[in-house]
Structure 1
C-alpha cells in the first residue's frame, strides 16, 4: 500500500528565487500527471508565485522522499463595495495511489479556522472554479452551505459576489447565459473508465455538477462559493466526527457479526446487502440466507489493497459501499482498467476458473466490501443457471475487454462500444469434440477451454482466452468443455478493423 510518510508546510515568500523555481519544477511534475491544459508558467502564477496576500503550500512525500501531492492555499483580501472580504482559494493534486486520508482537508480547515479567530468580524469565503465533479462532491460532503446547489436558487447577493470575484480573478465566461461557467483551462487527466464512472455516478452532488458544467472536460470551471461561517465550520466538524466514528464502528460491527452474538443480526443485514447486488437479486430468501451465513463484511480505508495481481485467491467480492479501482500490471506500472461502485462484483475470474488474480484491486474511497468464499458459491452456481450465466457473462465481458483494448483494430472504440460489440455476439458452450463452423471474416473469442483447427495443413491448438479471426471458412473443434463468443461478420470491416456499431435489436 502506497503511503504519504511526510508532509511539510512551505511559505513560498520565504524561499529564494532559485528555491521557488525548484519547488515549481517539482510540483509541476506531479501536476502534469493529474492535470493538463496549464503550462509551467501559468502553474507557477497560480500555485507558487500567487499574488495573494498569503500562500501556504502543503507538500506530500512518500517513503522514498518523492513528492506525490500538494495542496496550495491562498488568502486574498478584497473589497466588495464598502465591505472588506477575505477570499480563500486552493489548488490541490495527489497521485492516485496516495489519495484519501483527508490530509488536505485538515490543512485547509486549520487555515480557515485560524483566520476566523483572528478576524471575527470579517466575512470570509472560499472561492473555487471547480473543474471536476469530485471537487464539488467533496465540498458538499463537508459544508452545509455551498453555492450554487440544486435544492435552492443562489441568493442574488451571493450570485453577484461570485460573478464579480470570478471576473476579478481573470476567468472569462463561456456563455453569458450561464455566468457561473468560466474558462479555467485545467483539465483533469481521466481515463475512459473514470469518465464513465462519473458519467453514471449516482451521487446527487456529482449529478448536479455534471448538469451544471457539462464542459468540465474542456477546462470549464463551475464558480463555487462557500461562506466560511461558524455554522458552516460546525457542519464540517460534525461531518468529520461522523466519518471518524463510522469506520471504527463498522469494523466493530463486522467483528461482532462474526461471533455467535451477531449471527442473527448479520444474517438479516447481509441478506439486504446481497439483495441489492443485481447479479444476486433474483435468488430466493433461503439461498440468500445461506450465502449470508458464509459471507464476511470488511471495512477498508481509501488506498487499501484488497488483493494483488498474481495472488492466489478464490473469493468473490461485492462492493457494499464506496468504490474500488481495478489496476492491471503493465510495463509502465499499474494501469487503471475499471472503477467499480456500489453493487458491483469482482473476483469472478478466480472463482470460475481457479486462475490467479489478473489485476489488483485497491479501494478508491473508504469502502465496505462483502467477501463470499468459493466453497459457498460453487454449489449455488451448479444449481442456478441464471446465476451461473450471469457470472460467466460478467467474467467474459471483462476478459474480452482486457484482451482487445490494446489492439489497434479496437483502439478507436470506447469501452462502452467494445462491450456492445461483445454483447451482440453469439455466446456458445461447446462440449469436448463438438465442432463449430466459422464463417469468413468472423472473429471468435475463446473465453475458456481449448480449441483445435487446421491452418495451412497443420493442426493448431489454442487455449482461452484468445481471439481468433477466420480469413476463410474454418472448422473449430473443442478439445474440452469450452466457452466462446462468435463476433458477427458485419461488425468487422474488410480492412480488419472493428467497424462502427450498427446492430439490429
Structure 2
C-alpha cells in the first residue's frame, strides 16, 4: 500500500479548491449531501486532518471541532469528530489515527488539568471499531454498562449539539432528513464482519445507520485510557 502523509490544518486555511476536492472524495462514498451543506458543516469545524498520497492527491480527511463545556460543576473540553473518509484503497493506513492522536495530545498539553473527551457520532461500523483500538474504556459498548454519570454527560453533550434530533432512549441522533449516509455499494456488510462482536453491537444499537442515523459515542482522552499505539503518539505531542 502506498504511504499517505497527514497534515493538520485550520479550516480557515483551506482554499475553495481544497474544499471542493474534499467534497468530491466524500461524495464518492456518501449520498444525501451537496457542496453547500458540506461547506456549511465545514465552517463549524476548527481543524481538518488531511491525507495525501505521494502525488499530492487528497485521499482522506477528518474534520474536528474543539470546544469547552461545563458538566457536574467542572469545566471540560471536547474534541468533536465531524466528517471522516478515507479512500478505500488506503483502508488500513495508520496515517489518520496517528495524526489524530498527536492532535489530541497537543490539545491535552494546552490545558493538562482539564478533562478532554472524544465526542463523536457514528454511522459506520468501521469508525465504531476504532474506539476499541484507541481506548481502554469507551461508551457505549457490549463489554460493560455505561456508568450513570457518563451517560448523563453523553446526554448533555448530545442535547446541547443536536437538540431534539438526539433520541435519548436509543442513544442515537436521528435527523429528520439524512445529512449523509453511505452509498449502496459501500453500505453492505459481509456476513463474516457481522459476526464480530463490535460490528454486531453497533448494528444492534444503530439499526438505522444505512439511512443516516448516528450512534453517539464518548471516551476520555488521557494517558491512562489510551492503548499502546494511540498512547505513543499522544505522549509525543504532550512532550512537545
Scaled to the shorter chain, the TM-score interval is: 0.7 to 0.9
Counterpart in the other structure of 2:130: 138
Match of 1:27 in 2: 22
Task: Note if contact 1:75-1:87 (Cα within 8 Å) is conserved in structure 2.
Answer: yes
Residues 369-422 of structure 1, C-alpha deviations (whole Å, 9 max, x = no match): xxxxxxxxxxxxxxxxxxxxxxxxxxxxxxxxxxxxxxxxxxxxxxxxxxxxxx
- Could you state the TM-score of these two structures normalised by the residue count of structure 2? 0.84
Partner of 2:87: 95
Partner residue of 2:221? 228
Q: Match for residue 106 of structure 1?
A: 98
Task: Return closer, same or farther for 1:23/1:220 CA change in 2, 3 Å cut-off.
Answer: same
Counterpart of 2:60?
A: 69
Q: Which has the higher contact order (CA 8 A, sep 6+)?
A: 2
What SS does the corresponding residue of 1:224 show, helix, strand or coil?
strand
Q: Deviations over 1:43-77 (max 9, x none)?
A: 22333x12x5xx22222223443222112222112
Structure 1 portions without partners, runs of 5+ = 242-505
Matched, 1:86 2:85: no
Count residues in correspondence: 229
CA contact (8 A) 2:23 2:35 kept: yes
Structure 2 residue 54 is matched with structure 1 residue 60 = no
**Where do 4+ consecutive residues of structure 1 move more than 6 Å?**
238-241
What's the RMSD between the two structures over aligned residues? 2.5
Decide whether the 8 Å contact of 2:50 with 2:60 is kept in 1: yes
> What residue in structure 1 maps to residue 12 of structure 2?
13
Q: Are positions 1:40 and 2:32 aligned together?
A: no
- C-alpha distance in 1, partners of 2:112/2:166? 36
TM-score (norm 1): 0.42
Deviation at 1:37, TM superposition (A): 2.3
d(CA) in 2 for partners of 1:106, 1:84: 27
What is the DSSP-based 3-state SS (H/G/I as helix, E as strand, rest coil) of the residue aligned with 1:191?
helix
Which of residues 194, 205, 209 in structure 2 aligns to 1:212?
205
| Greater C-alpha radius of gyration | 1
How has the CA–CA distance of structure 1 residues 176 and 239 changed in structure 2, closer, same or farther, with 3 Å as cutoff?
closer
C-alpha displacement of 1:98: 2.0
CA distance in 2, matches of 1:153, 1:41: 40
1:183 Cα deviation after fit: 2.0
| Matched residue, 2:238 | none
CA distance in 1 between counterparts of 2:220 and 2:134 reads: 13
Matched, 1:189 2:183: yes
The residue correspondences of 1:322-333 to structure 2 (distance < 5 A) are none
Q: 1:150 aligns with which of 142, 154, 167?
A: 142
Partner residue in 2 for 1:418: none
Q: How does 1:311-350 map to 2 (within 5 A)?
A: none
Cα pair 2:182 2:210 within 8 Å, conserved: yes
After TM superposition, give the deviation of residue 208 of structure 1 in Å: 0.7
Deviation at residue 94 of structure 1 after TM alignment = 1.2
Structure having the higher strand fraction is 1
CA contact (8 A) 2:101 2:230 kept: no
Tell me which protein shows more helix as a share of its residues: 2
